[in-house]
Chains A and B, each alone.
Chain A
Amino acid sequence: MKGWQYLLSGIVLIALVIQLVPGELPSTEINNPGDLIESGIVSIEVAGLLRTSCYDCHSNETKFPWYSYVAPFSWLVAKDVKDARKELNFSVWQDYDMVEKLKKLDDISIEVREGEMPMPIYTAIHTSAKLSDAQRQLIVQWAEDAMDIVVEEDEESGPEEG
């Protein structure tokens, strides 16, 4: 064999061997009673935007593309989705207390306004998740309004302490 043939077989071999490295994608769940959209705090329009641009990482309803089962992409996807859900998981929205909800809504408005979210590495591949300026503005406005609603709801349900 020639030099480049050795190199190629080496690369193929490594690509095969890394598939054996154990690693699991986060599990998915379609039925989420505590979901944000189920809670009725989101308009149909904004719900659609959140579903197409956020829910793949920030919910239990991740739709994993085929390459996400192939190492080394699987490692990246697994880590990103795990981190994303830890930071904000719309599927368990109702489990967050009032201050948690406010912090997350505030973060949403900041990160979406500044273009930090959805992450450019994600929209580069999932082009349908890209947000226009008008769509960004819709989400930002929703998040800011929702903060007021969250506070009002909490006051109606009565002060818990202090």
Chain B
Amino acid sequence: MAALLGLLFFQGTTKPEDKATSSHLAFSPDMPANIKAIVDQKCYGCHNAESKNEKGKAKLDWDAFEASKKAKQMATKGKIAEALEAGEMPPAKFLENKPEGKLTEAELATLLEWSAGKKKSN
């Protein structure tokens, strides 16, 4: 219950920022700051151009993503949404050694809203 209330509070406070950035996103390949913050903390460690995790790098290289064209970014976002919806990321094996790497419910909702264009459920 407390977690639920906390989530509502989080949504309430971040909504104005989301609105401002989503219209900006439609015309610009730049990522919203709130997405970038989550990605830097929870995804970028494996999904970057210098990553030693070959599979992670091959599936999604965040440095290449930011530099890629619009259609490619949209395709990648679709794949990100798919992996997140299936609960595949971050991988369960990775979380065994690094449980703090798990996405919080609010982070997951934010990433899904961005990648799948989904509205958060209230």
Q: Are B78 and A151 in contact (CB under 8 A)?
A: no
Question: Across the interface, do A161 and B71 meet the contact criterion of CB distance under 8 Å?
Answer: no
Q: Does A71 contact B (CB under 8 A)?
A: no
Residues in A with CB closer than 8 Å to B24 are none
Task: Tell me the minimal C-beta distance from A87 to chain B in angstroms.
Answer: 12
A103, B60: Cα distance in complex, Å: 13
Least distance between B91 CB and chain A CB atoms (Å): 20
Taking a contact as CB atoms under 8 Å apart, the answer to whether B22 and A99 are in contact is no
Task: Tell whether A102 is near chain B: CB-to-CB under 8 Å.
Answer: yes
Size band of the B side of the interface? 10 to 19
Q: Which of B74, B77, B79, B82 contacts A151 (CB 8 A)?
A: B74
Contact B71 A162 (CB under 8 A): no
CB distance from B3 to the nearest CB of A (A): 28
Whether B69 sits at the interface, judged by CB under 8 Å, is yes
Contact of B72 with A103 in the complex, beta carbons under 8 Å: no
Alpha-carbon distance between A161 and B75 when the two chains are bound, in angstroms: 17
- A interface: dominant SS: helix
User: Do the beta carbons of B117 and A106 come within 8 Å of each other?
Assistant: no
Residue of B nearest to A162 (CB): B117
- By DSSP majority rule, is chain B's interface helix, strand, loop, or mixed? helix
**Distance of A151 Cα from B74 Cα, bound (Å):** 9
State the interface size on chain A (CB cutoff 8 A).
14
Contact flag A102-B75 (CB < 8 Å), given A151-B70, A162-B22: yes
A100→B79 CA distance, assembly (Å): 9
The verdict on A105 contacting chain B, using a C-beta distance below 8 Å, is yes
Chain B positions near chain A (C-beta within 8 angstroms): 22, 69-72, 74-79, 82, 117
Instruction: With A102-B78, A148-B70, A162-B117 given, name 10 new contacts (CB 8 A).
Output: A98-B74, A99-B74, A99-B77, A99-B78, A100-B78, A102-B74, A103-B78, A106-B72, A144-B72, A148-B69
* A–B complex contacts, Cβ < 8 Å, 16 sampled: A98-B74, A99-B74, A99-B77, A100-B78, A102-B75, A103-B75, A103-B78, A103-B79, A105-B75, A106-B72, A147-B71, A147-B75, A148-B69, A151-B70, A151-B74, A162-B117
